[in-house]
Amino acid sequence: MKIIVIGSGGREHAIAKTLLQSPQVQQVVCIPGNGGTARLKRCENLPLKIDQFQAIADYAKTHAIDLIIVGPEAPLALGITDALQSHNLTVFGPTQAGAQIEASKAWAKALMSEASIPTAASAVFTDETAARAYLQSQGAPIVIKADGLASGKGVTVAMTLEEANAAIAEAFAGKFGSAGQKVVIEEYLTGQEASILALTDGETIRPLISAQDHKRIGEGDTGPNTGGMGAYAPAPVVTPELSDRINQEILLPTIKTLKKWEITYRGVLYAGLMITPEGDPKVIEFNCRFGDPEIQAILPLLETPLETLLLATAQGKLAQQEITWKPGACACVVAASDGYPGSFEQGFPITGIEVAEAQGAIVFEAGTSLNDNRPVTSGGRVLGVTGVGATHDLAFDKAYQAIASIYFQGLYYRRDIGHRVRQKQSQ
Ligand code: AMP
Ligand code: GLY
């Protein structure tokens, strides 16, 4: 098979690296890819922009590409799947209509309401005065969300009304562009978060193993939200019983309602969940693509060839596929640039990746590019240093030992990733 992977993050490097482990995969082309994908054997980067749908379609047709996997949400929300499908190409990723589940929080809330899916109570506003009046009636803590895509920065968990009002003012003042001209104000939920990434072809849904992300920049889950500073899989908080409830109460009703709305949804349905102190799963958000870094902690445990699963999903043949997993646990610790999620410097040489991999870790590259064929930093989240082990502790030991071998100027990582599942903490 020849496969295109759209995107340039840790998720896409992990997908490409996993695909290339299969003898069935002859070649992977990453658009535009990163420093990690550029150094993989049988893989090349193609410097197109992810919104150049026609150029991507032309390339795919000329090179007899069998499958196009879309990594990030932005091109999905712009309709890349619709555009490529109109050229008879096989695409993993929902259409523009389906991608609304992530691209409009108000739309996702309407779907959840129709499907009676458990989620935080909420209200949607396009008018600042009405939003403020509602805030006043609800009190704090409360959560303010820009409706549209805001690169993970559109959510404010406000502990005071003052913070909540400031978030409303910022959104309507245009901090998130048009994404913030509509806001969702939501009940504040407490509990433990979990990520369920499921493959679906619109009929069948196959959840991957559960994962837990660590959103905050600081140890002890403090400071601003990021794209995710580390993850592990499986997440023991998702017991087999809970997993069953998530299927019955959340995933299946979602697919059913999408179908009722005449959307054939093929790709990833990612449910970001809060497991409340009562033990009930509630949806915090849906995403239309693999979570990152969660997928970096999931793929190393996948036994079934990835290309088989994603092709079956894209072709509407997922019912014929079972997914099997390796035993054990996987831990991913993100090495970030100092300053992230705020501003940071880039272009610093990265050393020690080979040493880390020689120790048995897997290093997925996110914000890297090549300078003279050597990796340099080019983003906020730079690497996902990943370990597999028989237990969560052993997996984290491997990831943390490996990250100690890696150096770039300004390297920052959290030493407490996995604190909920580890017996001991890292040095
Ligand atoms: P999102 O971008 O929707 O994933 O939100 C980012 C983070 O904000 C989530 O991972 C949660 O930690 C937090 N969050 C979002 N919605 C709520 C909520 N209703 N209650 C409490 N925390 C929330
Ligand atoms: N790690 C969270 C996300 O991918 O949205």
What 3-state DSSP class applies to 124? strand
CA of 228 to the centre of ligand 2 (A): 6
The Cα 232–Cα 335 span in angstroms is 15
Please give the backbone phi and psi of residue 190, each rounded to the nearest 5 degrees, phi first.
Answer: -120, 160
Check: pTM over 0.85? Answer yes or no.
yes
* Residues in CB range of 379: below 8 A, 6 or more apart: 9, 337, 346, 366, 367, 368
Q: Starting from the CA of residue 212, give the closest ligand.
A: 2
Q: Starting from the CA of residue 184, give the closest ligand.
A: 1
CA of 290 to the centre of ligand 2 (A): 8
Q: In this predicted model, what pLDDT tens digit does every residue of 231-250 receive, in sequence order?
A: 999 999 999 999 999 999 99
Please give the backbone phi and psi of residue 30, each rounded to the nearest 5 degrees, phi first.
Answer: -100, 135
For every residue of 400-427, DSSP letters joined together read HHHHTT-B-TTEE--TTTTTTT-SS---
pLDDT for 228 beyond 80? yes
Q: In this predicted model, what pLDDT tens digit does every residue of 350-369 receive, in sequence order?
A: 999 999 999 999 999 999 99
Angle at 360 between CA 359 and CA 366, to 5 degrees: 100
pLDDT for 297 beyond 80? yes
Residue with CA at minimum distance from ligand 2 atom 2: 291
CA of 297 to the centre of ligand 1 (A): 21
Strands 192-200 and 205-207 come out as antiparallel
Q: In this predicted model, what pLDDT tens digit does every residue of 256-277 receive, in sequence order?
A: 999 999 999 999 999 999 999 9
CA-CA distances (angstroms) from residue 331 to 147, 318, 423?
32, 28, 14
Residue with CA at minimum distance from ligand 1 atom 3: 285
% of the chain surpassing 70 pLDDT: 99
pLDDT for 252 beyond 70? yes
Q: Which atom of ligand 2 is nearest to the CA of 11?
A: 4
Least trusted range by pLDDT, from 179-183, 282-286, 353-357, 365-369: 179-183
What pLDDT is recorded for position 62? 98
CA of 42 to the centre of ligand 1 (A): 39
pLDDT for 192 beyond 70? yes
Domains (range + CATH), the chain? 2-95 (3.40.50.20), 127-181 (3.30.1490.20), 192-320 (3.30.470.20), 329-423 (3.90.600.10)
% of the chain surpassing 90 pLDDT: 93
For residues 414-425, give the mean pLDDT. 90
Q: In this predicted model, what pLDDT tens digit does every residue of 65-107 receive, in sequence order?
A: 999 999 999 999 999 999 999 999 999 999 999 999 999 999 9
Both structure tokens of 46: 């193609």
The Cα 80–Cα 95 span in angstroms is 7
426 — pLDDT class (breaks 50, 70, 90): low
427 — pLDDT class (breaks 50, 70, 90): very low
**What average pLDDT is seen over the chain?**
96
What pLDDT is recorded for position 425? 62
The Cα 118–Cα 246 span in angstroms is 10
Q: Is 292 in the pocket of ligand 2 (CB under 6 A)?
A: yes
Q: Starting from the CA of residue 108, give the closest ligand.
A: 1
What 3-state DSSP class applies to 262? coil
Residue with CA at minimum distance from ligand 1 atom 10: 215
Q: In this predicted model, what pLDDT tens digit does every residue of 386-406 receive, in sequence order?
A: 999 999 999 999 999 999 999
Exposure string over 205-221, b if 16+ CB within 10 A, otherwise e:
bbbbbbbbbbbbbebee
Residue with CA at minimum distance from ligand 2 atom 4: 291
Residue of 195, 225, 296 with the most ligand 2 atoms within 8 Å of its CB, for mutation: 195
154 — pLDDT class (breaks 50, 70, 90): confident
* Residues in CB range of 192: below 8 A, 6 or more apart: 212, 237, 274, 275, 420
Residue of 11, 193, 292 with the most ligand 2 atoms within 8 Å of its CB, for mutation: 292
